[in-house]
């Protein structure tokens, strides 16, 4: 979040007392509020999770096989043709 973005959304959560104490200790070590610590920690985890689902790395052999598969013409099967001929759901 940029410094100019206004924080206008609120999240409420319940945690076990031991978790709360741990979060407070960690935030204090970084000289952050618990909110700052939680938001930054959650953002980092969310970014990793999303990146894992949207980016991938291939070695040279895997890349060649992937590029080859992309370059092959699509195989049109009766099931695929039927799928694309269906009307869109409303």
Q: Does some domain include residue 9? A: no
What does the chain look like in DSSP terms, one character per residue?
--TTS-----------HHHHHHHHHHHHHTT--HHHHHHHHHHHHHHHHHHHHH-----HHHHHHHHHHHHSPPP--HHHHHHHHSPPP-
Count how many Cα atoms sit within 13 Å of the Cα of residue 64 in the half-sphere of its side chain.
2
Residue 72 is part of which domain span? 17-85
Q: How confident is the model at residue 59 (pLDDT cuts 50, 70, 90)?
A: very high
Residue 2 lies in a domain: no
**pTM (2 decimals)?**
0.55
Residue 10 falls inside a structural domain = no
What pLDDT score does 63 carry?
Answer: 95
Calpha distance 1→35 (Å, rounded): 14
User: What is the chain's mean pLDDT, rounded?
Assistant: 91
Residue 3 in domain: no
Res. 88 pLDDT band, cuts 50 70 90: confident
72: pLDDT confidence band, cut at 50, 70 and 90? Answer: very high
Query: Can you tell me the mean pLDDT for 64-76?
Result: 93
Position 68 in a domain: yes
* Number of structural domains in the chain: 1
pLDDT per residue as tens digits for the range 9-34: 989 999 999 999 999 999 999 999 99
């Amino acid at each position: 979040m940029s410094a100019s973005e206004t924080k206008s959304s609120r999240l409420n959560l319940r945690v076990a007392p031991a978790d709360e104490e741990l979060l407070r200790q960690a935030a204090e070590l970084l000289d952050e509020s618990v909110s700052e610590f939680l938001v930054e920690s959650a953002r980092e985890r969310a970014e990793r999770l999303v990146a894992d689902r949207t980016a991938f790395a291939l070695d040279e052999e895997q890349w060649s096989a992937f590029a080859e598969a992309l370059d092959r013409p699509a195989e049109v099967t009766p099931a695929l043709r039927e799928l694309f001929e269906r009307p869109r759901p409303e």
